[in-house]
């Protein structure tokens, strides 16, 4: 079963997933703090390079399967034109201003 991005509990995460699925880099970046960081499979990555390579230049898309931690932890089927489809886990740190300061992803 898939959870529609519009039904995700956390409003920031909801908007972030919608931006990813729409391929809207500007909307995605607007939801991040200026010093946002991320990791992939436990290794810190350059956020701008990673999101370009893994999401925006290769039509990344998330189909959320489940959420926990008030909507800030997701399990999703993520697909892009490079790697195809994989089961992934995502965890988001959302600051008081409603922007993401860190996200971590990896295979679930």
Q: How far apart are CA 53 and CA 75, in angstroms?
A: 21
User: Encoding tokens for residue 86?
Assistant: 């994989």
- Residue bearing tokens 């195809």: 84
User: What's the fold here for domain 5-107?
Assistant: Nuclear Transport Factor 2; Chain: A, (3.10.450)
Q: What is the pTM of this model?
A: 0.95
**What pLDDT is recorded for position 11?**
97
**What pLDDT is recorded for position 103?**
98
**What pLDDT is recorded for position 1?**
82
Q: What is the mean pLDDT of each run of 10 residues along the chain (108 residues)?
A: 94 98 98 98 97 98 98 98 97 98 97
Q: How far apart are CA 98 and CA 101, in angstroms?
A: 9
Q: How far apart are CA 101 and CA 63, in angstroms?
A: 22
Q: What is the domain partition of the chain in residue ranges? A: 5-107
Give which of 95, 105, 89, 106 is closest to 36, Cα–Cα. Answer: 95
């Amino acid at each position: 079963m898939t959870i529609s991005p519009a039904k995700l509990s956390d409003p920031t995460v909801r908007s972030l997933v919608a931006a990813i699925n729409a391929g809207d880099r500007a909307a995605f970046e607007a939801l991040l703090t200026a010093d946002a960081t991320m990791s992939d499979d436990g290794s810190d990555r350059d956020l701008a390079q990673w999101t370009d390579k893994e999401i925006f230049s290769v039509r990344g898309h998330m189909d959320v399967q489940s959420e926990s931690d008030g909507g800030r932890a997701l399990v999703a089927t993520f697909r892009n034109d490079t790697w195809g489809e994989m089961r992934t886990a995502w965890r988001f740190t959302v600051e008081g201003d409603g922007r993401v300061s860190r996200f971590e992803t990896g295979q679930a």
